[in-house]
Amino acid sequence: MRCHFMVSLAGLLGAAGATAVPPSPVAKQLYQFPNLTFIENIAVRFNGHLLLNTFDQGRMYTIDPYADNPEPYVVAELSGSGQPVILTGIVEVAPDVFVVSGGDGGDNYDFLNGTAKIAKIDLNNCDDEAPTFTDVASIPSARILNGMVGLPLKPHVVLSVDSINGNLFRIDTSTGAVDIAWHNEKIGPGPNADIVPLGANGLNIHRGYLYFTNSAQQFYGRIKINPRGDPVGDFEELYHFPANEAHVFDDFDMTHRGVSYVCSQRDSFVKITRDGKLRTIIDADSDVKLYSPTSVALSKDQKVAFIVTGGDETQGGQVVAVRL
């Protein structure tokens, strides 16, 4: 099944690359939810299957992107305090063991007070027993837990950003210990909260720098950190949208060479090079439309970007593959 998918994309690339001009990325919609399911985040398992965090009653779905007709199914549900739970960040902390952030959904891109938490799910041997979420830590002071990333030398210790309060939490997922690594207005929404009330969104670590997107402040930047995640340098804005453009960066993923692929609301997918140059890959005029792209994860060989979307008033969330 994998070969079928890759050959399909390779054929399109071959047609596009008939001249000396480098081929353009090719996009293909793999699946779209028939209802208004909002897909917030995505991760790739060791076998290439995708994990989808949703706002659908705390449900995590999985889907095989290499199947002839990919269909998602529910892996597990995160329970809350009676209100619908939304799943946000996700990161792998050990082989096929993932942690997620979540909470009871509020009214304005937030959690209900006191409901933010981190949970773990172990997908090893899940063919023998249905996996379930295990609560790791409660973070009642967080308004929202958004992007999340593991520390390279201690992947079981994750950083999770409160995009509203501008706090970066550090969570030891083995012990449940939580502290605020640091607070800064650069990761909060700043004065542009009328655009969207969220500051730092996606997080990634590359060569000693924490890279992040800031939705409300409309920039992509970085800061040097130590192995514990503490800041040891100044903030750098690598790309900033012009003030007259209503673009909103969402989540992103990075290659081993430091190139970022970023979702941008309401309908775009872009590439940002190491020197801060932006190139649009998908926008409103593309053949494949993106309805509120929220997150992206690269395949293990980093040749395919898997994009998920939140949908809109009439369209359900999508899973889209882009051959890079």
The helix (run of H) or strand (run of E) holding residue 230 is none
What are the structure tokens assigned to 41, written together?
Answer: 């985040």
pLDDT of residue 163: 98
Around Cβ 183, how many Cβ atoms within 10 Å? Answer: 13
- Based on its alpha-carbon atoms, the radius of gyration of the chain, rounded to whole angstroms, reads 19
> Cα(318)–Cα(320) distance, rounded to whole angstroms?
6
pLDDT of residue 192: 81
What are the structure tokens assigned to 248, written together?
Answer: 């909103």
Q: For the purposes of burial, counting CB atoms within 10 Å of the CB of 126, is it exposed (0-12), middle (13-18) or buried (19 or more)?
A: middle
- The DSSP secondary-structure symbol of 267 reads T
> Cα(68)–Cα(64) distance, rounded to whole angstroms?
9
pLDDT tens track of the chain, all 324 residues? 323 333 344 333 333 333 334 457 889 999 999 999 999 999 999 999 999 999 999 999 999 999 999 999 999 999 988 889 999 999 999 999 999 999 999 988 999 999 999 999 999 988 778 899 999 999 999 999 999 999 999 999 999 999 999 999 999 999 999 999 999 999 999 988 888 999 999 999 999 999 999 999 999 999 999 999 999 999 999 999 987 677 899 999 999 999 999 999 999 999 999 999 999 999 999 999 999 999 999 999 999 999 999 999 999 999 999 999
pLDDT of residue 60: 98
pLDDT of residue 307: 99
> Cα(108)–Cα(7) distance, rounded to whole angstroms?
43
CATH architecture of the domain 2-323 equals: 6 Propeller (2.120)
Full-model pTM = 0.92
Burial 15-40 (b: 16+ CB within 10 A, else e): eeeeeeeeeebbbbbbbbbeeebbbb
Residues 6+ apart with CB under 8 A from 40: 53, 54, 55, 86, 87, 88, 294, 295, 308, 310
Q: How far is CA 29 from CA 26, 32, 52, 243, 287, in A?
A: 10, 8, 15, 32, 10
> Cα(163)–Cα(188) distance, rounded to whole angstroms?
5
pLDDT of residue 244: 67
Q: How far is CA 195 from CA 39, 198, 242, 310, in A?
A: 21, 9, 14, 18
> Cα(215)–Cα(292) distance, rounded to whole angstroms?
13
**Cβ–Cβ under 8 Å, residues 93 and 43:** no
